[in-house]
Chain A
Amino acid sequence: MGRAERIREVAKQILEEKKVDLVIGFKKGTHPLMAEPVSIKDPKEAELLCWDSFCTLNLANYLPKRKEKIGIVAKGCDSRNIAVHIVENQIKREQLYIIGVPCEGMVDKRRILALLHGRECMEVVENDGSLIVKGEGFEQTLTRESILRDNCRRCMHRNPVIQDDLVAWPVMERAEGDPFDDVKEIEELGPEARWKFFTDLIRDCTRCYACRNACPLCYCPTCFVDESEPQWVGKSIDPTDTMTFHLLRAFHCAGRCTDCGSCQQACPMDINVRMFTRKLNKDALELYASEAGLSIEKRPPLDTYRPDDEGKFIK
């Protein structure tokens, strides 16, 4: 049985048994390269649930402050962000029925579009390990490996870290390779070159806040950029204000980010916003031996303090 069938089966069952009030998952998109997050309440509608290479958004985003009992479809990164939510009191573990999905990585629709050179994709058929992309007068087979999202290529936790059900056998975790090789390249630059790198990175930003809103960590009732009394940041596209937004948002995510890639995926201007957060993920790992969302007990490294902390850099 495939992942999608098993997801539908579990969803139907937990809805029928009234273990949950709703199930959050994905349904097929109206666009061949998209899947749409959906909330299912009626067991009959569990049939709508799908699982394909386009289930990119992090569904943990839909959990904070919900009161119901919720079934939620979770790949590795989603499950880690659910763990972060539990630690940060955004949702209770006992409210959740986590339908874990061992994940083989999601694909980046932008990589597909780039490979099509302007031809339009009308249909995608998924086979084991490859996608057949069809359009007017053409058909092209792409290996999943060649079009995976960058964060999925670097992912070290493809299997859910917490779950109530697992819809497939666990997949192999990435054994080798340095997930931070690109961050190291930037670290090696001088301060001016680094500043230029980040200035260029966000040049196209329109301040639409898709990165922030796609991020499960950004659940503040009022974001600092939306505060009007006092107003911390200017609202125009002045480069200083735009940089302030990105830097502060990234630092607010330090030690909490799972590199789920939702921010990058959501950006309408193709900005790789992850370059900010990944440096901080690397720091959290090196300075605190911490990776976000691996446990529902451990507080994030930057909101714990111990006078007897052995880390020397802190003193």
Chain B
Amino acid sequence: MSDKIILKERMQDFLEALRKTREVLLPVKEKEFYRLKPFTGAEKLDPQFQNTRLSPKGLVLSESERMFEYRLGKEQGAQIVHEAPADYPPRVVVGIRPCDAKAFALVNRNFDNPEFKDPWWVNRLASLTLVGLGCDEPCSTCFCTSVGCGPFHEEGLDVLLFDVGHDLLARAITEKGERLLMEAGVRQEADDDLKKKAAQLKEKAEKKIRSQVPTDRLKDKKLNDLFNAPFWEDVAFACINCGTCTFLCPTCWCFDIQDEVKKNQGDRIRNWDSCMLPLFTLHASGHNPRTQKAQRVRQRFMHKLKYYVDKYGDGVACVGCGRCVNYCPVNIDIREVAKRMNAL
């Protein structure tokens, strides 16, 4: 780990230098919200940027991933499923928020573990470098510090930027990050004064987080007590069972695999799926174990706040980004649900 300096007035040069060897993605405002867009030379890292509307998970877990292809018919080679050709060009995101970076580390458990290695996930993540931007002004809906994350959390990041005035302090967190800074010609070491400033920024930002969400008692709760808790009908009443929460969420990783055939050409595609939708658990037999919306709402919260907690023993499956709180059309608030579960 080393702390370097990027002069703010040299930020565009830094981005240009990165662009020579890889695609550079930046949060850019389009319509009324931010999204990650390729840097073409003109875009700047916007100081007003809070976070992107959609989480960046789609960079690694594609919304629709063509996994396999095949041909129907009787000729030679038909009826055999091949891996669809894919390339994994190097990419870097500059300005990702620490919560979203931590989400990649969290979801990685599901796709890259001793038991399974998902090649699409593994390859896309390996080709991606994450340069984070610490949050000086967290929103009122952010609750990252309650869920093992924070406005300057480093997990999942390769480099973390601190806005220390005239300069940016660039902290290389991984070897990948060290190499990236080296390649971009960022060599000047930060002095102790700047390092101190960076530490103060972090401390100040953490104190600004207003939402405190208790999750400490979840692991000791009996699973069945939570599952059968009396409040699920009440929590679920307003839910309209859309996929907004799951599709915006940086840690929702569920998918559905579909075959699509056009004439003789077939594709096997992996799409984002959502436990809010009734089709999610529909069995081939026609049976559906979760026909009621309260069951589906419960599943989402139980997965994030109990099943994951029990399975991995490393906290909840949420990074506290607040997207679901801000964009749920009916104001179902995970902070309130966590409180109720924790207090049961």
Asked if B336 contacts A30 (CB within 8 A), the reply is yes
Tell me whether A142 is interfacial, beta carbon within 8 Å. Answer: no
Q: How far apart are B271's CB and chain A's nearest CB, in angstroms?
A: 5
Asked if A266 contacts B258 (CB within 8 A), the reply is no
Chain B residue with the shortest CB-CB distance to A62: B237
Tell me whether B78 is interfacial, beta carbon within 8 Å. Answer: no
Tell me whether A210 is interfacial, beta carbon within 8 Å. Answer: yes
Q: How far apart are B290's CB and chain A's nearest CB, in angstroms?
A: 14
Residues on B with beta carbons closer than 8 Å to the beta carbon of A61: 240
Q: Interface readout for B134-170 with A: 1 if CB under 8 Å, 0 if not?
A: 0000011100000000000000000000000000000
Give chain A's interface secondary structure class. loop
Asked if B326 contacts A214 (CB within 8 A), the reply is no
- Known A228-B282, A236-B64, A266-B329; judge A208-B238 contact (CB<8 A): no
One of A36-44, A84-92, A285-293 contacting the partner: A36-44
Asked if A210 contacts B244 (CB within 8 A), the reply is yes
- Known A39-B237, A236-B64, A268-B53; judge A30-B335 contact (CB<8 A): yes
Interface residue ranges of A195-247 to B (CB < 8 Å): 206-210, 212-214, 222, 226, 228, 234-238
In the complex, 28 of the A-B residue pairs with CB atoms within 8 angstroms, ordered by the A residue number, are A30-B325, A31-B331, A31-B333, A36-B238, A37-B237, A38-B238, A57-B240, A62-B237, A110-B32, A120-B140, A206-B243, A207-B243, A208-B244, A208-B274, A210-B242, A212-B242, A214-B242, A235-B258, A236-B63, A236-B260, A238-B64, A262-B329, A265-B329, A266-B240, A266-B244, A266-B329, A269-B53, A270-B31
Asked if A266 contacts B242 (CB within 8 A), the reply is yes
- Known A38-B237, A120-B140, A236-B260; judge A270-B242 contact (CB<8 A): no
* Residues of chain B whose beta carbon lies under 8 Å from any beta carbon of chain A: 31-33, 48, 50, 53-54, 63-64, 139-141, 237-238, 240-244, 246-248, 256, 258, 260, 269, 271-272, 274, 277-279, 282, 325-327, 329-333, 335-336
Asked if B242 contacts A206 (CB within 8 A), the reply is no
Asked if B277 contacts A37 (CB within 8 A), the reply is no
Q: How far apart are B135's CB and chain A's nearest CB, in angstroms?
A: 12
Asked if A214 contacts B271 (CB within 8 A), the reply is no
In the bound complex, what is the Cα–Cα distance between A238 and B262 (angstroms)?
A: 13
Tell me whether A190 is interfacial, beta carbon within 8 Å. Answer: no
Q: How far apart are A217's CB and chain B's nearest CB, in angstroms?
A: 13
Asked if A210 contacts B329 (CB within 8 A), the reply is yes
Q: How many A-B residue pairs have CB under 8 A?
A: 103
In the bound complex, what is the Cα–Cα distance between A269 and B50 (angstroms)?
A: 16
Q: How far apart are A262's CB and chain B's nearest CB, in angstroms?
A: 8
Asked if B63 contacts A36 (CB within 8 A), the reply is no
In the bound complex, what is the Cα–Cα distance between A32 and B140 (angstroms)?
A: 10
Tell me whether A114 is interfacial, beta carbon within 8 Å. Answer: yes
Tell me whether A193 is interfacial, beta carbon within 8 Å. Answer: no
Residues on B with beta carbons closer than 8 Å to the beta carbon of A311: none
Asked if A34 contacts B279 (CB within 8 A), the reply is no
Asked if A214 contacts B240 (CB within 8 A), the reply is yes
* Residues of chain A whose beta carbon lies under 8 Å from any beta carbon of chain B: 29-31, 34-39, 57, 61-62, 110, 113-114, 117-118, 120, 122, 206-210, 212-214, 222, 226, 228, 234-238, 262, 265-266, 268-270
Asked if A214 contacts B329 (CB within 8 A), the reply is yes
Asked if A36 contacts B332 (CB within 8 A), the reply is yes
Residues on A with beta carbons closer than 8 Å to the beta carbon of B237: 37-39, 62
Chain A residue with the shortest CB-CB distance to B48: A118
In the bound complex, what is the Cα–Cα distance between A228 and B170 (angstroms)?
A: 51
The contact of B141 among A31, A214, A226, by CB within 8 Å, is A31
Asked if A235 contacts B271 (CB within 8 A), the reply is yes
The contact of A37 among B260, B279, B327, B330, by CB within 8 Å, is B330
Chain A residue with the shortest CB-CB distance to B332: A36
Chain A residue with the shortest CB-CB distance to B258: A235
Chain A residue with the shortest CB-CB distance to B30: A204
The contact of A57 among B32, B278, B330, by CB within 8 Å, is B330
Asked if A226 contacts B279 (CB within 8 A), the reply is yes
In the bound complex, what is the Cα–Cα distance between A39 and B32 (angstroms)?
A: 33
In the bound complex, what is the Cα–Cα distance between A127 and B280 (angstroms)?
A: 45
In the bound complex, what is the Cα–Cα distance between A182 and B189 (angstroms)?
A: 57
